[in-house]
Chains A and B, each alone.
Chain A
Amino acid sequence: MADIALREQMISVPERATAIAKGGARDLRFRILTLAAALIVLGIFAGVIISLVIGAMPAINAFGLPFIWTDKWNAVTEKFGALPAIFGTLVTSFLAMFIAVPVGIGIAIFLTEICPRFLRRPIGIAVELLAAVPSIIYGIWGLFVFAPWFQEHVQIWVVDTFADVPILQDIFAGPPYGIGIFTAALILSIMVLPYISAVTRDVFETVPSMLKEAAYGLGCTTWEVMWRVVLPFARAGVVGGAMLALGRALGETMAVTFVIGNAHHLPNSLFAPGTTISATIANEFTEALGDLYAPSLIYMGLLLFAITFIVLASAQLMLRALERRAGT
């Protein structure tokens, strides 16, 4: 901009003083403006917590902490407990991470070490673009395409095969509905997969090539370099990325709601329908009549926010520590 203070070369001393003072006042105003915007971000965060606590108050007063481990969900008698939903949220998310983390790391190793050079960029970009696909797409695909296929070709076979094996017969007990806890976890794992592999690949690329070259120079194989040099160096980043993905999976609504079955009891097998906190809220909130129904759903939302906060905050702190180390 041309109006930067000393536009004319010959201006008198008092003029110059007022120009500087004006600049100072404008500086202060701008600084306060940006500060206010930063404080609004904090305000939104505080607002979320406060509004959820106020909204949940009737349910908190009525049920207290036992809400967390009660498995009743009855809108007629107004007895509510969040256990099935909390259980479903945790089981689907951890199962999804159990599948997605090893596969995601595998994809990252493939992209950084094995893939032919000319394919690296296209595949890398494809993975990043897929991370941007909205979760409702995964949900609708899960409902219309995956669940029917899974029911017909996998579930029936698995139920039959494990029918006489102790333990497994309970984990994979029929009837094969197609939808259920396991399907939801699979869809979730496909959804967070691009995310995990993109983060992991980025972290792998921060490993100094000198370290890798030194290991190769000692005669290490590619796998030994990955396992003994790259992974230990990148551990904090990989764990942080996986926890960010876990945070997403825990709060994910649309990818799960379509395929979980929305059943309010503790599932007796992985193939049984269940529910998660977010699916329950999405399905029932607009129809929640009565004094305790909606507050109970908001109470669940508050619990979900608390769980994801803990996960995301630990991920944050881990990645921060890594950044600081990389910076020095």
Chain B
Amino acid sequence: MARNGKNQGLIARRKLANRFFLFLSVGAAGFGLIWLALILYSLFYNGFSAINPKVFTEITPPPGEDGGLINAIVGSVLMSVVAVLGGTPLGLLAGTYLAEYGRYGRLAFFVRFVNDILLSAPSIVTGLFVYEILVAPLHGFSGWAGAVSLMVIVIPVVVRTTENMLLLVPNGLREAAAALGAPRSNIIRAVTWRAARAGIVTGVLLAVARISGETAPLLFTALNSSFMNTDMTQPMASLPAVIFQFAMSPYEDWHHLAWAGALLITATVLILSIFARLLEPRKH
């Protein structure tokens, strides 16, 4: 019976270890989620107390005066729209190449690899790149340069989701269309793109969500501007750049506007991500 006692001890020890580590992992979840809850709480608390109609009607003020963020909102929207309009077709076509033509080829492997690097490459380097090719040669910061740097971020996101979504389309659909004698380009446009449409839209929404908070690439491409400006050849304000400038300043009212802008960005990103989730086709 001594043996049985030993066994009991071992079982008790294993149970204790089990409890201990599971407790740690619950603790980890609590620890992680509490930080995130605190961040959202301060964001909503400070953001909502700073938001008023003026935020959407007046331009960024000099320190000590009343004002809003409308020039930054307009700049952000303009540059994002241009970036998405330019980046989506390119990303869509490149993703199509990977999923439909390249598949297992060496070139496709290489493009996929490079694309995934670009997907997580530091965005500040993107800013330096666009500065070198657009701002320095043309001697000026501009909304166009800002839009191009955002485009460089949009493209890899769209490429990745397009490829993933096209690969989910069953081959039977392609084969059925081919058996009817359809040329390959028609199969892709009329069958696979259509079947993967919801997923591709998801990718574009995620790309918009991604660029709406991007700050680093805009700092030395679009720069900033304290005036209302819709001329893309001039320096342009954007929400993230204004938040950066205002939060780093010593002025109390600028801090309030920075919180308001932060809330606007987060709300946009969360709404876009939720829409993207709703649209995303279920795997399997």
Q: Cα distance A136–B216 when bound, in Å?
A: 9
Q: Are B93 and A37 touching (Cβ within 8 A)?
A: yes
Contacts of B183 in A (CB 8 A): 5, 23-24, 26-27
Of B60-68, B111-119, B195-203, the stretch lying at the interface with chain A is: B111-119
Q: Is B140 an interface residue (CB 8 A)?
A: no
**Nearest CB in chain B: distance from A149 CB, A:** 10
Name B212-231 residues within 8 Å CB distance of A: 212-216, 219-220, 223
A258-B36 CB under 8 A given contacts A45-B118, A282-B219, A316-B116 = no
Docked complex Cα distance between A140 and B260 (Å): 12
Determine whether the beta carbon of B240 is less than 8 Å from that of A136.
Answer: yes
The answer to whether B18 and A103 touch across the interface, beta carbons within 8 angstroms, is no
Digit string of A235-266 for contact with B (CB within 8 Å is 1, else 0)? 00000000010011011111001100000000
Are A312 and B116 in touch, CB under 8 angstroms? yes
A55 at interface (Cβ–Cβ under 8 A)? yes
* Known A-B contacts A35-B101, A107-B32, A221-B17; A253 and B215 likewise in contact (beta carbons under 8 Å): yes
Beta-carbon contact of B14 and A221 below 8 Å: yes
Hey, what's the 0/1 contact readout for A1-39 against B, CB within 8 Å counting as 1? 101111000000000000000011011011101111111
Are A137 and B17 in touch, CB under 8 angstroms?
Answer: no
Q: What is the 8 Å Cβ interface bit string for chain B, positions 16-45, against chain A (1 contact, 0 not)?
A: 011011101111110111011011001100
Given the interface pairs A136-B243, A224-B14, A286-B220, the reply to whether A110 lies near B132 with Cβ below 8 Å is: no
Is there a chain B Cβ closer than 8 Å to A211's Cβ? no
Q: Quick one: which of B110, B219, B240, B258 has the most chain A CB within 10 A?
A: B219
Which of these, A27, A130, A133, A298, contacts B128 with CB under 8 Å? Answer: A298
Residues of B contacting A35 with CB < 8 Å? 97, 101
Chain A residue with the shortest CB-CB distance to B94: A37
A162 at the interface (CB under 8 A from B): no
Whole-angstrom CA separation of A125 from B36 in the bound complex: 13
List of A residues within 8 angstroms of B36 by Cβ: 126, 130, 190, 193-194
Decide yes or no whether A104 CB sits under 8 A from chain B.
yes
Which residue of chain A is the closest to B272 with respect to CB atoms? A132
Whether, in the assembled complex, A210 has its beta carbon less than 8 Å from a beta carbon of chain B, the answer is no
Give, as a whole number of angstroms, the nearest-CB distance from B99 to chain A. Answer: 10
* Cα of A305 to Cα of B219 in the assembled complex, Å: 18
Whether A44 is near chain B, meaning CB under 8 Å from some CB there, is yes
Is the pair B93, A31 in contact by a Cβ cutoff of 8 Å?
no
Interface membership of A313, Cβ < 8 A: yes
Query: Are B117 and A309 within 8 A (Cβ)?
Result: yes
| Cα(A278)–Cα(B126), bound, Å | 12
Over the window 60-77 of chain A, the binary record of Cβ atoms lying under 8 Å from chain B Cβ atoms (1 yes, 0 no) is 000000000000000000
| Cβ contact within 8 Å between B219 and A285 | yes
Taking a contact as CB atoms under 8 Å apart, the answer to whether B96 and A34 are in contact is yes
- Cα A305 to Cα B244 in complex, Å, equals 23
* Shortest distance between the CB of A46 and any CB in chain B (Å): 9
Cβ distance B155 to chain A, nearest Cβ, rounded Å? 7
B182 at the interface (CB under 8 A from A): yes
Q: Is A143 an interface residue (CB 8 A)?
A: yes
A41 pairs with B94, CB closer than 8 A: yes
- Of residues 56 through 83 on chain B, the ones whose CB sits less than 8 Å from some CB of chain A are none
B85 in contact (CB, < 8 A): no
In the complex, per-residue mask of B168-212: 1 if CB is within 8 Å of any chain A CB, else 0: 000000000100111111101110000000000000001001101
Cβ of B18 and Cβ of A308 under 8 Å apart? Answer: no
A254 with B244, Cβ < 8 A, contacts A110-B26, A129-B270, A248-B120 known: yes
Bound-complex Cα distance A273 to B131 (A): 29
A1–B186 CB distance below 8 A: yes
Judging by beta carbons under 8 Å apart, are A223 and B93 in contact? no
A51 to B149 CA separation, bound complex (whole angstroms) = 14
Q: Give the Cβ gap from A93 to chain B, nearest Cβ, in Å.
A: 11
Interface residue? B269 (CB, 8 A): yes
In the assembled complex, the Cα of A190 lies from the Cα of B14 at a distance in Å of 32
A232 close to B (CB within 8 Å): no
Asked whether, in the complex, the Cβ of A102 is within 8 Å of the Cβ of B94, the reply is: no
Within 8 A of A (CB), among B135-189: 136, 152, 155-156, 159, 177, 180-186, 188-189
The 7 closest A-B pairs by CB, nearest first: A134-B213, A251-B122, A106-B28, A23-B183, A37-B93, A30-B185, A221-B18
Cross-chain pairs A/B with CB under 8 angstroms, 17 sampled: A4-B190, A34-B94, A37-B89, A38-B97, A38-B102, A45-B117, A48-B126, A48-B129, A104-B28, A136-B213, A144-B255, A145-B42, A190-B39, A224-B18, A278-B122, A298-B128, A309-B117
B contacts, CB < 8 Å to A: 14-15, 17-18, 20-22, 24-29, 31-33, 35-36, 38-39, 42-43, 46, 89-94, 96-98, 100-102, 107-108, 110-111, 113-118, 120-126, 128-129, 131-133, 136, 152, 155-156, 159, 177, 180-186, 188-190, 206, 209-210, 212-216, 219-220, 223, 240, 243-244, 247-248, 255, 258-259, 262, 265-266, 269-270, 273-274, 277
Additional 14 contacts, C-beta under 8 A, given A114-B22, A316-B116: A35-B101, A40-B155, A42-B110, A48-B125, A55-B136, A105-B25, A143-B248, A144-B46, A193-B36, A222-B18, A251-B124, A305-B121, A313-B113, A316-B117
